[in-house]
Chain A
């Protein structure tokens, strides 16, 4: 009884405090300051006194017989565990289907041919802040008289790679040949995030999205670009956002196929509870409601059931990645599971996880091979820890807004839907926001044409505004 009357007083105090906080947050404005550039040294040991080598060296992906026979040996000796009866992809990657994938991998997948495909675009390496940064740089094959190519930095995420952009690159560097009109032509730069693919992994702690953004900023400057566009999804979303916050005068436009908001407050809570019934009150459109509700199923439950990987990678990356760097089958199971559920959550109900409905096995395995031959799975997972270990919503860049013109392509099967009403609190200058008709998380990989069209119309709008509006 004593507890309950004391409880009553405490409750009252708690509500008073909450009420004050609510008023404060409703009326406070987010700061408009820039994010400071994050310098660093990520190489092994001490930073040398001598000046860093800033040369840009051509690079080609290579493979050896030894590499291939080692891979085949591991595939042959893979130890599978029988799935539970009727479990489809509900327990994760179904090992019956995995066996088929492995059989294809061993007998039909031609890595040498895929390496040639990877090498069809010029690749380079250059040392920045102590580590080698790998990137693809594709210039347009032809340019109409008097037109300059617009530089576009495209950043991948996890468990993707620069390879995700191979189908969209020609649509952006040579749109005319693909029926897309040639008003805007791009030269595309796709780097690998440090710790991913052929970019060297940082040897020091603390390499987070702001570090990656700073490194890519240096890269663009080194390549001679003073103004450029950026595009990204997954980690690419965050890195490009940070880049726009660090150097708003250099980023002409920011295009995203995923726009999460991590600074959640009471208004978000209220809109989740009431938004289905009063969408207009919270700025929700019909499509927002369709994608977000019922919230328990499409929001909370989905977050819980799909974020186990993020939780363990953000806390024990070296543990969880260890076995995956030693077992190609384990690596494939881990990565392909995402290409199933993040393309369409319903694919979990299929025995084959719907893997080949939107992608070819060659494409999927090429991406897995990039992780395998570079041995980067552990370092790729560390990025989660470096970004998330202090908790979500606690970092400086999460509290700052973005004033750079922003375009958002919102794909229906993205893991979580962010309505424009929420996105515009962070991205204060949204120039275009479109609900895409189909597609999931790996937009560039799955729906390159849709994404390219959206990028083109966005850039079109920005260029038009730039002409008469000075920053």
Chain B
């Protein structure tokens, strides 16, 4: 009875004295935890890998030397090529085919004639060698890259390291026209500004002069890790990344793996996986009331009619992807043996992915945006290095693990990101959707013209966008 006799006010105040701070601590603690966990960025585990032949050697450290390299050719190589071009067996196309059945064989004959009689591979090799090339061994395979430094740096100006990654069926060569605009902008009439780059363009393992992995499982995560190791080996702690096609995926993975090393990520192609029912409904609504679902007018113009542009067009253009993601060794076999077959396969993409309307042209509109010399030099890189099969295997390695290409989207990308949306890109990703994955987009530009091979086709436009993006990042 003595307990129940305690005055109420005393009970209350004692209880409050304990409960309120306890509650405050509890709530405060939960709040802190929630805030921290929301803030805590999940990164992709770096892991490790071995891609050389046979077993990984137990003893000894990997040779980390960086060896200069020059592309070479020989009479034997060129004669073999010419012989194959001479003996090409041609199939007439159906009447009125244009590029609707694939590469038009009448136009192909003209390309082959040029390739045989006018294209000068030795001269192109000199062009390729104008930038310094190197090899270095990482995770058991030789990684090829070019490294271009500005010839002149104004006093006190910082030089930003920029890693640019190509895709399929491209190569490091796609960047040859944009490199000078980035290393010496003033000389090319670009805003002098305060941004100057030193550019590193590696070849993805299995492409061009980078050795192909000998083991299964080489995907974009492994590539991302190897490229981080490359930059590290070159002495860079922080750098910018730029990419399209596979380059977009690889640089994205790099930003997810080591965000502290990535000052900024610039993409000219954003590929997102499927998103679910909510997205489907927003797509359906967006055709009629784009503003309601966050799409801009330009987004709507590029994205609709949805079935036509997204479903039919993708089905029509993704046959290569389907066969390469399932049977790369079959698909590439003949292409490594027939240079004309290889050219038809690769150049078809340079036609359709540059401008979809090129399908209706007998010559695929190829020479309206590129020179035959440039196009064939890229093809020659695949031919001379016999890398078509290994380049195709990349599709299987990536799609087998991740059929929706979600790019670990659950992880999000928090580094400052810039997107250059080119009108003729195969698929358009509106900013409002890109934001779901790229959580820190500080620049999103609708480019006035250009397609998939942005650096190759519109180097100046792309360079300007990269520079304005980097300027923004530097000011942050």
* A contact set with B: CB distance below 8 Å: 3-4, 6-7, 10-11, 44, 70, 74, 77-87, 91-95, 98, 202-205, 304-309, 311-327, 329-331, 333-334, 337, 375, 377-379, 382, 385
| Given known contacts A315-B315, A337-B327, A205 and B282 CB-to-CB distance under 8 angstroms | no
Q: List 23 A-B contacts (CB under 8 A).
A: A11-B281, A77-B80, A80-B336, A81-B336, A81-B386, A85-B54, A91-B330, A92-B331, A98-B333, A308-B324, A309-B323, A312-B319, A313-B319, A316-B320, A318-B344, A319-B103, A319-B348, A321-B102, A325-B341, A327-B333, A329-B337, A333-B333, A334-B331
Q: Kindly state the separation between the CA atoms of A323 and B108 in the bound complex, as whole angstroms.
A: 12
- Besides A320-B319, A322-B91, A326-B337, 16 new A-B residue pairs in contact (Cβ under 8 A), listed by A number: A6-B285, A81-B336, A82-B214, A85-B216, A204-B95, A307-B322, A308-B322, A318-B93, A319-B101, A319-B348, A321-B102, A323-B340, A325-B341, A326-B341, A330-B336, A385-B101
A-B pair number, CB within 8 angstroms:
211
Which residues of the partner chain B approach A77 to less than 8 Å between Cβ atoms? 80, 84, 337
Question: In chain B, what residue has the closest Cβ to A84?
Answer: B216
Which residues of the partner chain A approach B410 to less than 8 Å between Cβ atoms? none
Do residues A317 and B102 form an inter-chain contact, with CB atoms below 8 A? Answer: yes
Which residues of the partner chain B approach A10 to less than 8 Å between Cβ atoms? 281, 284
Q: Kindly state the separation between the CA atoms of A245 and B48 in the bound complex, as whole angstroms.
A: 61
Min CB gap A58→B, angstroms:
27
B328 at the interface (CB under 8 A from A): yes
Do residues B330 and A318 form an inter-chain contact, with CB atoms below 8 A? Answer: no
Q: Kindly state the separation between the CA atoms of A69 and B42 in the bound complex, as whole angstroms.
A: 62
Q: How many residues of B contact A (CB 8 A)?
A: 67
Interface residues of B in 363-399 (CB under 8 A from A): 386, 388-390, 393, 396
Which residues of the partner chain A approach B282 to less than 8 Å between Cβ atoms? 3
Question: In chain B, what residue has the closest Cβ to A327?
Answer: B337
Which residues of the partner chain B approach A334 to less than 8 Å between Cβ atoms? 330-331, 333-334
Do residues B333 and A95 form an inter-chain contact, with CB atoms below 8 A? Answer: yes
Q: Mark B86-118, 1 if CB is under 8 A from A, else 0.
A: 011111111111000111110010000000000
B316 at the interface (CB under 8 A from A): yes
Do residues A85 and B215 form an inter-chain contact, with CB atoms below 8 A? Answer: yes
Question: In chain B, what residue has the closest Cβ to A81?
Answer: B389
Which residues of the partner chain B approach A322 to less than 8 Å between Cβ atoms? 91, 102-103, 105, 108, 338, 340-341, 344-345
Q: Kindly state the separation between the CA atoms of A277 and B199 in the bound complex, as whole angstroms.
A: 61
Question: In chain A, what residue has the closest Cβ to B90?
Answer: A325
Do residues A81 and B329 form an inter-chain contact, with CB atoms below 8 A? Answer: yes
Which residues of the partner chain B approach A324 to less than 8 Å between Cβ atoms? 334, 338, 341
Q: Kindly state the separation between the CA atoms of A31 and B293 in the bound complex, as whole angstroms.
A: 43
Q: Kindly state the separation between the CA atoms of A323 and B396 in the bound complex, as whole angstroms.
A: 21
Main secondary structure, interface of A, reads helix
Min CB gap A323→B, angstroms:
2
| Given known contacts A98-B333, A314-B319, A323-B344, A91 and B328 CB-to-CB distance under 8 angstroms | yes
Which residues of the partner chain A approach B216 to less than 8 Å between Cβ atoms? 84-87
Q: Kindly state the separation between the CA atoms of A220 and B269 in the bound complex, as whole angstroms.
A: 55
Do residues A330 and B333 form an inter-chain contact, with CB atoms below 8 A? Answer: yes
Question: In chain A, what residue has the closest Cβ to B316?
Answer: A315
Do residues B89 and A325 form an inter-chain contact, with CB atoms below 8 A? Answer: yes
| Most chain B CB inside 10 Å of its own CB: which residue of A91, A307, A313 | A91
B326 at the interface (CB under 8 A from A): yes
Which residues of the partner chain A approach B159 to less than 8 Å between Cβ atoms? none
Do residues A323 and B103 form an inter-chain contact, with CB atoms below 8 A? Answer: no
Question: In chain B, what residue has the closest Cβ to A207?
Answer: B94
Which residues of the partner chain B approach A87 to less than 8 Å between Cβ atoms? 216, 329
B38 at the interface (CB under 8 A from A): no
| Most chain B CB inside 10 Å of its own CB: which residue of A10, A305, A311, A385 | A311
B278 at the interface (CB under 8 A from A): yes
B342 at the interface (CB under 8 A from A): yes
Q: Kindly state the separation between the CA atoms of A323 and B345 in the bound complex, as whole angstroms.
A: 8
Which residues of the partner chain A approach B88 to less than 8 Å between Cβ atoms? 326
Min CB gap A298→B, angstroms:
16
| Given known contacts A311-B318, A333-B330, A323 and B341 CB-to-CB distance under 8 angstroms | yes
